[in-house]
């Protein structure tokens, strides 16, 4: 029999931890339209800091939500794209968006 550990979390907690971060949902919302470069995120997401954006993008790559492709050219170019797992997250976020509309209608 498997022993329970103190650090074991449920799937919902894992999902929430993966998307938590001030800019992760706006990043997903922007990238659902296609590949993006960091400069595009900086233009489209108000008040995001370049350092924080790069940190959030790296976490999202590590979590399997995005892929990062670096082009060996001058000037250097980097593009991010949703993975299949990231595309599944977009579907969930659209459902959450609809639920949010229901909440707003109650106000």
- For the stretch 37-85, pLDDT in tens is 999 999 999 899 999 999 999 999 999 999 999 999 898 899 999 999 9
Residue 6 located in a structural domain: no
Task: Tell me whether residue 12 is in a domain.
Answer: no
Structural domain includes residue 23 = yes
pTM for the predicted model, two decimal places: 0.84
Task: Identify the H or E element spanning 96.
Answer: helix 84-105
Specify if 70 maps to a domain: yes
User: How is 47-87 classified by DSSP, letter by letter?
Assistant: T--HHHHHHHHHHHHHTTSEEEEEE-SSS-EEEEEE-HHHH
**Domain-embedded: residue 37:** yes
Among 79, 92, 68, 71, residue whose Cα is nearest residue 19 = 92
Q: How many domains does the chain have?
A: 1
- Asked whether residue 90 is assigned to any structural domain, the reply reads yes
Would you say residue 43 lies in a domain?
yes
Task: Look up residue 4 and give its DSSP letter.
Answer: P
CATH of the domain at 26: 1.10.10.10
Query: The domain containing residue 24 runs over which residues?
Result: 19-105
49 vs 9 pLDDT, higher one: 49
% residues pLDDT > 70 (the chain): 93
Q: In the predicted model, what is the mean pLDDT of the chain?
A: 91
- Is 91 domain-assigned? yes
pLDDT at 1: 41
Backbone angles phi, psi at 54, to 5 degrees: -60, -40
């Amino acid at each position: 029999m498997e022993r329970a550990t103190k650090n074991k979390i449920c799937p919902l907690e894992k999902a929430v931890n993966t998307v938590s971060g001030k800019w992760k949902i706006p990043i997903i919302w922007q990238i659902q339209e296609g590949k993006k470069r960091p400069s595009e995120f900086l233009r489209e997401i108000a008040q995001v800091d370049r350092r924080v954006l790069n940190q959030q993008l790296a976490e999202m790559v590590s979590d399997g939500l995005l892929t990062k492709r670096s082009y060996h050219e001058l000037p250097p170019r980097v593009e991010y794209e949703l993975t299949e797992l990231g595309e599944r997250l977009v579907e969930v976020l659209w459902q959450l968006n609809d639920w949010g509309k229901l909440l707003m209608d109650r106000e």
